[in-house]
């Protein structure tokens, strides 16, 4: 009887191990980007509020056409971070506090922008920027300026690469960037949409999401930016 019980327990232990292995989630990898990567930053926004140890909401920060950012315009629910424009002068921003993207690394975010067809409401943006702007540069991975655009700023000036063709509102899409030493590559839904030369000092750049006022204004839920996740990788 004892031997039989031990045998049963041994079988159950093996089955539990097999089940655990089968249920394990596959390693997260950049969408559509070749190579071997290790995850170095990840926020899936699965909590009930913004993780203030990872993000600075820039409470009281005035930027983006004189919009003042407020934590009250940010919520986390159903696995998403939501940034809203409350009025023409009240917006939102989050910036990483302890993580910065270095040369040779890759970052992406899955975002749903508000809009109508090819038009993007308000002034939402997913971007990375370094200290002592513009010395360390600014890469605008996806910036709503009426349409959805890719842009770059450095001591050499502003370089607007213009609209990326397609309909980018109302549905989730993945927007990513690879930082080279003298260039950046921007990928949307795993497809390379821009490659441009960079002229900054190569310093690490923080990950930033902002909601400002510009172009066609929609307040509250009608114009919100919904972020499913933000992740970053280094070469494995």
pLDDT tens digit sequence for 12-43: 343 333 333 333 455 589 998 899 999 999 99
Q: Domains (ranges, CATH) in the chain? A: 36-235 (2.60.120.200)
* pTM flag (> 0.95): no
Torsion of CA 91, 96, 100, 106, to 10 degrees: -70
Using alpha carbons, list the distances in angstroms from residue 133 to 122, 138, 154, 201, 206.
24, 8, 8, 11, 12
CB atoms within 10 A of CB 165: 10
Helix H or strand E segment including 180: none
Diameter of the chain measured on Cα atoms: 81
CB-CB contact of 225 with 83 (8 Å): yes
Q: Locate tokens 């821009």: which residue?
A: 194
The residues of the chain scoring below 50 in pLDDT are 1-24
Q: Using an 8 Å Cβ cutoff, are 109 and 229 in contact?
A: yes
């Amino acid at each position: 009887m004892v031997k039989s019980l031990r045998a049963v327990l041994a079988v159950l232990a093996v089955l539990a191990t097999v089940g655990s292995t089968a249920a394990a989630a596959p390693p997260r990898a950049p969408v559509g980007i070749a190579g071997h990567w290790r995850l170095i930053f990840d926020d899936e926004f699965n909590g009930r509020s913004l993780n203030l140890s990872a993000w600075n909401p820039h409470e009281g920060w005035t930027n983006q056409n004189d919009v003042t950012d407020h934590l009250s315009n940010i919520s986390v629910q159903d696995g998403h971070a939501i940034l809203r424009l409350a009025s023409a002068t009240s917006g939102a921003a989050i910036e990483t506090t302890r993580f910065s993207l270095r040369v040779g690394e890759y970052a992406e975010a899955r975002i749903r922008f508000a809009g109508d067809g090819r038009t993007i409401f308000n002034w939402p943006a997913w971007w990375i920027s370094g200290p002592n702007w513009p010395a360390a540069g600014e890469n605008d991975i996806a910036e709503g300026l009426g349409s959805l655009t890719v842009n770059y700023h450095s001591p050499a000036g502003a370089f607007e690469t213009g609209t990326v063709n397609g309909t980018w509102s109302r549905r989730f899409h993945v927007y990513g960037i690879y930082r080279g030493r003298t260039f950046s590559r921007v990928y949307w839904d795993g497809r390379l949409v821009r490659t441009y030369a960079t002229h900054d000092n190569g310093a690490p750049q923080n990950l930033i999401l902002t909601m400002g006022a510009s172009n066609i204004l929609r307040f509250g839920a009608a114009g919100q930016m919904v972020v499913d996740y933000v992740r970053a990788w280094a070469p494995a």
